[in-house]
């Protein structure tokens, strides 16, 4: 937990959760351009974040997905139960096409890519803090398709861990590299690969890569 701060009423207090200090500092600077928004605390992990909300009140939590230990999506679920009135928004380098639908289904109020401008970030935080949802035009189209015809894309059938392995397989990483990155044994990664191919009805890694490229996941 880093740098807690108490602010007067009327200020939107943000909990910023990201395991990279540089990313946290960058987002803090962007939010600092708005007089009505303050980063009340920063957290580098699931445990840091839950410690923060146990002792402080926040209006919005900005959560990265990829973190050591429990993921941002697991934190999203935990915060939704612990603080049902708090606005929860994903801020990730992963595209909406990969995690957007999953995040909203778990209770997210918004989803932003880390390459977002300061103006859009501030606008999204204000909207979520007021009880609304921030949905980009692309995400709105995707949600509309889901309402009309069910989940879009074979990757939506994957579990969170399978999705993590899928992304790395599609990017050309070896079983050993994936195992090291996700703290898994290579034979466990092999088992995940087999399940992923079966669920997505594909035969090899090349098909996974082509699928990921077509959907702009890489």
Q: What is the pLDDT along the chain (218 residues), one digit of tens a residue?
A: 655 444 456 899 999 999 999 999 999 999 999 999 999 999 999 999 999 999 899 999 999 988 878 889 899 999 999 998 899 999 988 777 778 878 888 889 999 988 889 999 999 999 999 999 998 777 676 666 655 555 556 787 888 888 889 988 988 899 999 998 888 898 999 999 999 999 888 888 888 888 887 766 66
pTM of structure: 0.70
The pLDDT value recorded for residue 211 is 82
CB 109 within 8 A of CB 132: yes
pLDDT at 164: 85
pLDDT of 87: 95
Phi-psi region of 89 (alpha: psi -120 to 50; beta: other; left: phi over 0): beta
Q: Tell me the pairing of strands 60-63 and 12-17.
A: parallel
pLDDT value of residue 99: 80
Dihedrals phi, psi of 84, to nearest 5 degrees: -60, -20
- Helical ranges in 56-171 per DSSP H: 72-82, 96-105, 118-129, 137-149, 160-170
What is the C-alpha separation between 64 and 93, in angstroms, rounded?
8
> What is the model's pLDDT at position 147?
52
Query: Taking the CA of residue 158 as centre, how many other CA atoms within 13 Å lie in the half-sphere pointing to its CB?
Result: 23
């Amino acid at each position: 937990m880093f740098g807690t701060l108490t602010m007067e009423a009327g200020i939107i207090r943000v909990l910023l959760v990201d395991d990279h200090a540089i990313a946290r500092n960058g987002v803090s600077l962007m939010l600092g351009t708005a007089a009505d928004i303050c980063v009340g605390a920063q957290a580098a992990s699931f445990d840091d974040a839950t410690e923060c909300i146990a002792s402080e009140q926040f209006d919005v939590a900005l959560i990265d997905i990829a973190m050591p230990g429990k993921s941002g999506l697991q934190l999203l679920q935990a915060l939704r139960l612990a603080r049902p009135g708090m606005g929860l928004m994903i801020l990730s380098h992963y595209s909406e096409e990969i995690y957007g639908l999953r995040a909203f289904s778990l209770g997210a109020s918004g989803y932003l890519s880390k390459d977002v401008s300061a103006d859009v970030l501030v606008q999204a935080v204000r909207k979520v803090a007021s009880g609304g949802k921030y949905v980009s035009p692309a995400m709105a189209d995707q949600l509309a398709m889901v309402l009309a015809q069910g989940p879009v894309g074979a990757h939506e059938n994957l579990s969170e861990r399978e999705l993590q392995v899928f992304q790395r397989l599609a990017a050309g990483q070896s079983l050993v590299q994936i195992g090291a990155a996700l703290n898994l044994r290579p034979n466990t990664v092999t088992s995940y690969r087999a399940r992923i191919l079966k669920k997505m009805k594909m035969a090899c890694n090349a098909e996974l890569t082509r699928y990921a490229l077509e959907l702009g996941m890489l």
